[in-house]
Copies of this chain bind each other. A is one copy, B any other.
Amino acid sequence: MPMLDFWFDFASTYSYPAALRIAPLAATAGVAVRFRPFLLGPIFKAQGWDTSPFNLYPTKGRYMWRDLERLCGGLDLPFRPPEPFPQPSLLAARVALVGLAEHWGEEFCRTVFRAEFGEGARIDDRATMARLLAPFGVDPAAVLAGAQSEPTKARLREETQAAQAHGIFGAPSFVTADGELFWGNDRLEHALAWATRGG
């Protein structure tokens, strides 16, 4: 089965529709997807940015929020931006890594994105994480301890370095088995098509 890596940051606005769209589209295309959370922060810092480019360039930021609102409307996805933006995504990414190693990670990622951009929830505290973990029948305290453990912290750093090594500079990004990089929610279909034709 062809593979596609789905690289995203929970702080990334366009990662929200991508995360909610990818599973059914990949199933139809016959592509196996790996969810790979990483942190854009260090990559943005290497470009000289200390926050989201949508904050650094307000005209672009205003456009993005309107564009995302339209997109979510067309996809029938709830839309309510979190404050502040961007949300610190470190904790959610670590929790997701724990879940992805235990098979409940993908649905947890969708749950986080829905809470953050559909309900405007803050995702940077343990209480929210515990609330979002509740439906999964796992022990939130144990999961959070695992998320804050050294191996998980190291793994997220390694994933971020791997993203950078693939030439990733934004999120969402998709990388095929033959190393083709596609950037942006609007490239998801292209990435799946590339993967199925032997990537």
Residue numbers of A with Cβ under 8 A of B are: 47, 57, 59-60, 62-63, 66-67, 70, 167, 169-170, 180-184, 186-187, 190, 194
A183 to B, closest residue via Cβ: B63
Residues of B within 8 A of A63 (CB): 167, 169, 181, 183
Copies held by the complex:
2
Residue from B59, B66, B181, B194 in contact with A169 in the complex, judged by beta carbons closer than 8 Å: B59
Residues of B within 8 A of A47 (CB): 57, 59
A140 to B190, CA, bound (A): 42
Chain B nearest Cβ from A178, distance in angstroms? 13
Enumerate chain B residues within 8 angstroms of A60, measured Cβ to Cβ.
169-170
Give 16 new A-B contacts, CB below 8 A, not counting A66-B181, A70-B190, A70-B194. Answer: A47-B57, A47-B59, A57-B169, A59-B169, A60-B169, A60-B170, A62-B167, A63-B167, A63-B169, A63-B181, A67-B183, A67-B187, A70-B180, A184-B186, A186-B186, A186-B187
CA distance A66 to B169 in the complex (A): 14
Q: Nearest chain B CB to A181's CB is how many angstroms away?
A: 6
Bound together, the chains give a CA A66 to CA B180 distance in angstroms of 9
The complex places the Cα of A187 from the Cα of B183 at a distance, in Å, of 14
Nearest-CB distance from A171 to chain B (Å)? 13
A33 to B184, CA, bound (A): 27
Instruction: Say how far A157's CB is from chain B's closest CB, in angstroms.
Output: 19
